[in-house]
Amino acid sequence: MTGARSAGTLRIALVTREYPPETDWGGIGSFYASFARALAGAGHEVEVFCQALTATASDRENGVLVHRLLVRQDLTGPETPGDTGGNPDLGVFVYSLAARMLEAVQARHAAKPFDVIEGHEHLAVNALINASRPAGAVTVTRYQGAYHTFAKRGAAEWPVSDWVRLLEKQAIHAAGLRIAPSSSIDAAVQEDFGAPVADAIIPHFIAPGAGTSRAAGASRDNVLLFVGRMMLGVKRPDLAVQAFVGVAAEFPAWRLHVVGADHSTTLGMTTWEYCRGLVPDALREQVRYFGRLAPDAVQEAYRRARILIMPSAFEPFGMVAIEAMREGCVPVVATGTAPVDIVGDDELVFANGSCEDLMARLRPLMASDALLQRKRQACLGRFEQTFSTSAVLERNERAFRAGGVSHRVPPRRDGWLRQAFGRSLGT
């Protein structure tokens, strides 16, 4: 790769809207926090460019130089606090966000060039960076689930926006390297944006946590667990509640724990208020809502629960499923979503949206400790083999160094790198 400082060290820019603690809104922020720290721990120079909500500032955190950037109002106006930078129009906000990221990355790249500049297609944070073709750097777009993909499918209560769609398309098509975390999100991007097949399928990074030996022997409660943002059309906590209500009479010793930030709905109530209304009075003591928990508390919830219910209607990757597997909590997931590939077990998959089929998958697990223990051991083994820190980090480093060559296509002998990725090499 042009511009590499040494055979072992890369200068890497990670461009993301979300990054904890200030903008820790979901899986994107969690992913990049874990990924940045792991890359830095492996000896790479890592800088993160993310949105700020209160003030522009740069600080070193966990070995990573983090630039928090306020978005400008109306593209060229003053830097403005708030989650949309004072831009009431979604399209203007997204373009302003991309422009702010371009401005900051260009300045740092000129001062000390990057080898890799990575961003995500969601809200097109790197669209203008990719279009600018920064000399000497491979530009990477890693799929996190495009805004347009969710809005088009009605998987979120978001308005459809042509501006956002076009900018997200730019982020995808202008990239030198496209990485998808699952075959299902790769297929969705091809369908929604006319994109080529991703250059690599690499699972999302998973942060180091409790050792699997502890998870394997942990004392557990008879708990079904739901973890995710409380969004009816996306994460489907309502389906988890309905399934528990349907099997509760057969398994009176079991409980349901719900974890996640509450959301408003178009029903005149929050998501949790709606879900609570699905629970008969006789079962109210067996269903508990914890709201949003700190990461350590979520990990403890995985370690205490036996089964994770993941009934998402659409899921581009499903970090929750991997986190649960790492802690020995067995995920049950919906067809047509990325977690199907994660669990790799048809007995842990139910028909998307079907409460009856979800109940049918839960019953044998809840009825047999022996079966549940076998599934738990299989999940722990699969995590270690496929999703461990070392395994995922190695695959990403290999993709970065290859400069974008697809793992599915053999290298050409006739200048294949320059033909395929000439723009990222400055030609």
pLDDT digits 0-9 by tens, 19-42? 999 998 878 998 899 899 999 999
Amino acid 30: pLDDT: 85
- For the beta carbon of residue 212, count every other beta carbon within 10 angstroms: 19
**pLDDT at res. 26:** 76
The pLDDT of residue 176 is 96
For residue 227, being part of any structural domain is answered with: yes
pLDDT recorded at residue 218: 59
Give the pLDDT score at 3: 42
pLDDT at 388: 78
Report the number of distinct structural domains present in the chain.
2
DSSP-derived secondary structure letter, 422? G
Supply the pLDDT for residue 330.
Answer: 98
Residue 324 belongs to domain spanning: 212-387
**Is it the case that residue 141 has pLDDT exceeding 50?**
yes
159/275 Cα distance (integer angstroms): 24
Domain check: are 190 and 224 in the same one? no
269 and 171 co-located in one domain: no
Q: What would the DSSP string read from start to end of 181-245?
A: SSHHHHHHHHHHH-PPPPSEE-PPP----S-HHHHHT----SEEEEES---TTTT-HHHHHHHHH
Neighbours of 351 (CB within 10 A): 14
Same domain, 199 and 237: no
pLDDT of 424 above 50: no
**Residues 64 and 44 sit within 8 Å (Cβ to Cβ):** no
CA-atom Rg of the chain in angstroms: 22
Worst-scoring range by mean pLDDT, 105-109, 223-227, 373-377, 401-405? 401-405
Mean pLDDT of the chain: 88
Domain assignment present for 309: yes
Same domain? For 234 and 157 the reply is: no
With a cut of 50, say whether residue 5 has pLDDT above it.
Answer: no
Based on the domain organization, do 54 and 131 belong to the same domain?
yes
Q: Please tell me the least confidently modeled range out of 226-230, 308-312, 329-333.
A: 226-230
Q: Are residues 246 and 171 in the same domain?
A: no
6 in any annotated domain: no
1 located within any domain: no
Q: What is the pLDDT of residue 207?
A: 59
- Domain assignment of residue 3, yes or no: no
Helices (H) and strands (E) in the chain, counts: 16, 16
pLDDT band for 329, please (50, 70, 90 cuts). very high
Mean per-residue pLDDT for 321-342? 93
45-50 mean pLDDT? 98
Give me the CATH number covering residue 285: 3.40.50.2000
pLDDT attached to residue 210: 42
Rounded CA gap, 210 and 231, in Å? 29
Please check whether residues 131 and 233 belong to one and the same domain: no
- State the pLDDT at residue 14: 98
Q: What is the mean pLDDT of residues 390-408?
A: 74
311 falls within a domain: yes
Total number of residues shown for the chain: 427
> Which residue in 253, 254, 226, 252 sits closest to 240, CA to CA?
226
Q: What is the pLDDT of residue 217?
A: 52
Rounded average pLDDT over 118-131: 98
For residues 52-61, b (16+ Cβ closer than 10 Å) or e, as one string? beeeeeeeee
- The per-residue pLDDT for 390 is 84
pLDDT at 406 over 90: no
- Other beta carbons less than 10 A from residue 282's beta carbon: 10
Which pLDDT score is estimated for 266? 86
Q: Which of 218-222, 250-254, 313-317 has the highest mean pLDDT?
A: 250-254
**Average pLDDT of span 186-211:** 84
Residue 423: exposure state from Cβ atoms within 10 A (0-12, 13-18, ≥19): middle
> Which of 96-110, 116-130, 260-274, 344-358 has the lowest average pLDDT?
260-274
At residue 208, the pLDDT reads: 55
The more confident residue out of 195 and 411 is: 195
Asked whether residue 350 is domain-assigned, the answer is yes
Whether the predicted pLDDT of 415 surpasses 80: no
Q: Do both 312 and 413 map to the same domain?
A: no
Say whether both 329 and 411 belong to one domain.
no
Average pLDDT value for residue range 246-266: 95
Q: What is the mean pLDDT of residues 158-175?
A: 95
Residue 2: pLDDT band by 50, 70, 90 thresholds?
very low
User: Does residue 324 share a domain with residue 220?
Assistant: yes
In a domain, 4, yes or no: no
Please tell me whether residues 259 and 299 are part of one structural domain: yes
pLDDT confidence of residue 414: 29
Mean pLDDT of 66-85: 95
> pLDDT: is 294 or 127 the higher one?
127
Question: Are residues 352 and 304 part of one domain?
Answer: yes
